[in-house]
Structure 1
Amino acid sequence: MAVGAFAKVMTTLLNSTHVHNADTLIRLVRSRPPGVPLLTVSNHMSTLDDPLMWGFKDFPSMDAKLARWVLAAEDICFKNRILSYLFRLGKCIPVTRGGGIYQEHMNEALDVLSGGGWLHTFPEGKVNQEDAPVRRLKWGTASLIVRAPVTPIVLPIVHSGFEKVMPERAFYGRRPPLPLCMKDIKIIIGEPMNLDLWSLRQTASTMSYKENLNNLGWPITYPDGLNEAAQRWLFVSISDRIRTAMERLRSFEIKITLGSRKTE
């Protein structure tokens, strides 16, 4: 509740925030079908994207039961016992960079989806404050979609402005000691993606794999029996679809920004 209140103050009072299609996210958080998980994905502009992006008007940011679970970098958010305790209270799941998609904590994220929960990921894998296209996505998010017993509702989100609230190199090449205020924030929420996993799995299972791949020892998936090469194709295909959806939202956000400037 305290973090949610902080997000409300920063996002709605101390900064100017405009949200497109907020009703879709609020509806899916509050009243999606029982047992159906929600997986939101977004670009990563600052270390405060989460929780600030959930602080906009009318969003239930102070309801702990409705709050998202989120993947968080172990080397940043779980440096010591105190931080680990606080971030765990905040429903954060540690992930080890370079630990692979089958690391232990990814199974914890999978448990959230298996229970019909809401999980948020930053599939770019790290903060990127450049005004540039969405980077190539890591495969972890796609692997969770494939492995989940009930296919999650995948909702893409793109935002801008948080890089101004918490710039990486504002004060002597470092982040400011406190978040900055009076910035313009835009949050563009898309529509649920239509991922035909059955067809994608069928395509992956029938493709020929004669390439020399660096085998990582991934287990064969059950029950479709996909080997590592087939899984790689599947994860790349899903990741590319998510990235394309996010890039469309980013282009839409640019049009909105240019339109508002012309109006001014």
Structure 2
Amino acid sequence: MGRKMEWAGREKHMGGIPRKMVFLAVGAFAKAVANLLNTTSVHNVDTLLRLVRSRPPGIPLLTVSNHMSTLDDPLLWGFKGFPSVDAKLARWALAAEDICFKNSLFTYFFRLGKCIPITRGGGIYQEHMNEALQCLNNGAWLHTFPEGKVCQEDAPIRRLKWGTASLIVRSHVTPIVLPMVHSGFQEVMPEKYFLNRRPPFPLYNKKIRIMIGEPLEFDIHKMMQSAISKSRDDPVLSSTETTSRRWPAISPHGLALDEAAQRCLYSTISEQIQTAMEKLRSLGKSFLK
């Protein structure tokens, strides 16, 4: 299927009409499920709305959240006051290839919905990650689920995959990174509802809580210098490059990073994001007490 119908995701495809229709339909569905069928509360909503609607021109936005159900996106954007039917303001999102792009019809639909196929286990330098990177380079909004898979347990945020960190580092302009944590979607769309299957439709009368944090600031150039130095001094990291040589050397922001330095840098960034998400999760639980 070539590059998974990349042409269908372009803004000018058929005058943008199919994309607008998809966001009108999916946005209305998300509004109905989040507000009519269930109760949704949002903490710090103004920060998200401000960054979506009026961040500085050319500055990309990267939102990250935990992943509790197959309906996290689009329901995450269905709360009152969010422009969920506006295709121009809508996020780009990384979506699992084996679920959202398993046939031509699904591929076309999710492409119209500004989704980028990602092969789970395919590594951080797989082909379509360049599409995600281009979105950031264009100053767009991208959402990722850096845990990498659905987890419906009430448990701490798991170790994050490094793909999101690699996008932050390689983006021409360091994106505004906004952490989010939600709960309740695992009850709206449980993985094992009847005969170990998901329900055919979202469930109702559930409570959804969305915790939006504050933007994280990364001094990427300084962090890169630190990673280069640390990787050279750490015998485990320094041996990585000579034993694997699987990752290409990259030179973002004018500094050369071999695989060892990349691993060190991506790990540091991921840990900071994970810590911020876990603080939000704990804050949300305290609100429920």
Structures share a fold, TM > 0.5? yes
1:210 aligns with 2:235: yes
Determine the structure 1 residue equivalent to 2:266. Answer: 235
Matches within 5 A, 1:40-59: 40-59=63-82
Deviation at 1:216, TM superposition (A): 4.4
The runs of 5 or more residues in structure 1 that have no matched partner are: 259-264
Q: How does 1:169-180 map to 2 (within 5 A)?
A: 169-180=192-203
Trace 1:39-118 onto structure 2 (pairs within 5 A): 39-118=62-141
1:199-228 residue CA offsets vs partner (Å, 9 max, x unmatched): 211101212243232524212111210100
Instruction: Give the equivalent residue in structure 1 for 2:17.
Output: none
Aligned to 2:170: 147
CA distance in 2, matches of 1:158, 1:97: 21
Query: In structure 1, how many angstroms separate the alpha carbons of the residues matched to 2:126 and 2:213?
Result: 30
Query: Aligned partners of 2:274 and 2:212: how far apart in 1?
Result: 14
Distance 2:145 2:271 in 1: 14
2:39 to 16, 20, 25: 16
Match of 2:284 in 1: 253
- Higher deviation after alignment, 109-118 or 189-198: 189-198
Q: Map of 1:126-141 to 2, 5 A cutoff?
A: 126-141=149-164
TM-score when normalising by structure 1: 0.96
Q: What is the number of residues matched between the two proteins?
A: 258
TM-score by length of 2: 0.88
| Misfit runs of 4+, over 6 Å | none
1:126 and 1:224 mapped to 2: Cα distance? 32
Does the alignment pair 1:121 with 2:144?
yes
SS at match of 2:235: coil
Deviates more, 1:218-227 or 1:71-80: 218-227
- SS where residue 174 of structure 1 aligns? coil
Cα distance in 1 for residues equivalent to 2:187 and 2:122: 31
Alignment partners' CA distance in 1, 2:46 and 2:274? 22
- AA aligned to 2:235 is K
Tell me which protein shows more helix as a share of its residues.
2
Q: Which amino acid aligns with 1:137?
A: L
Identity %: 67
Q: Deviations over 1:44-67 (max 9, x none)?
A: 000000000100010000000000
Query: RMSD of aligned C-alpha atoms?
Result: 0.9
Aligned-partner SS, 2:264: helix
1:34 is paired with a residue whose SS is coil
Please name the residue that 1:261 is paired with.
Answer: none
State the secondary structure of the residue aligned to 1:206.
helix
Partner deviation per Cα, 1:6-58 (whole Å, 9 max, x = no partner): 00111011100000001100110000000000000000000000000100010
> Equivalents in 2 of 1:184, 1:31: separation in Å?
30
Alpha-carbon distance, 1:196 to partner: 1.9
Distance 1:238 1:121 in 2: 15
